[in-house]
Amino acid sequence: MQTLKKVMGLLAALCLSLSCLTACGEAPAGAPEGEYLETHFQIDYDRLDISVSGGEIDISAQAGADENASRLELLLGEFPGLEQFLIEALSFGEPIATGFTLVPLTADNGHFERIPTDTSGYELDSLYAGESCFLLCTTVVAGEQNDSGSRTYTALSHGLWDAGSGPISFSRGEDFALLTVPGSASLSSDSFAARYSRSPTEGVHGTDYSRQSGGSQFIEYAVADNAGSRRLESYTLTVTSEGPDSGQCKTFGSYYIHTWREMSAGFSLSAGPNGTLISDFAPSQPDSSWVVYAPVSIDF
* Structure-model confidence comparison of residues 299 and 204, the more confident one: 204
Residues 6+ apart with CB under 8 A from 32: none
Reported as a single tens digit per residue, the pLDDT across 34-68 is: 688 888 899 999 888 888 888 889 898 887 788 88
Looking at 30-34, 82-86, 277-281, which range is the least confident one? Answer: 30-34
pLDDT on residue 281: 59
Model confidence over 266-276: pLDDT tens digits?
666 665 555 54
Q: Which amino acid is at 168?
A: I
pLDDT computed for residue 206 by the predictor: 92
DSSP reduced 3-state for 152? strand
pTM: 0.84
Residue 227: beta bridge partners? 230
**How much of the chain exceeds pLDDT 90, in percent?**
31
pLDDT band at 117 (very low <50, low <70, confident <90, very high): confident
* Residue 88 predicted with pLDDT over 50: yes
Residue 253: pLDDT over 80 = yes
Q: State what percent of residues in the chain have pLDDT above 70.
A: 72
pLDDT at residue number 172: 62
- Residues 7 and 65: their CA atoms lie apart, in Å, by 24
Could you give the angle at the alpha carbon of 56 between the alpha carbons of 54 and 59, nearest 5°?
A: 120
d(CA 174, CA 215): 21
Question: Residue 20 has what pLDDT?
Answer: 46
What residue ranges define each of the domains in the chain, with the CATH number in brackets?
A: 3-40+94-299 (2.60.40.740)
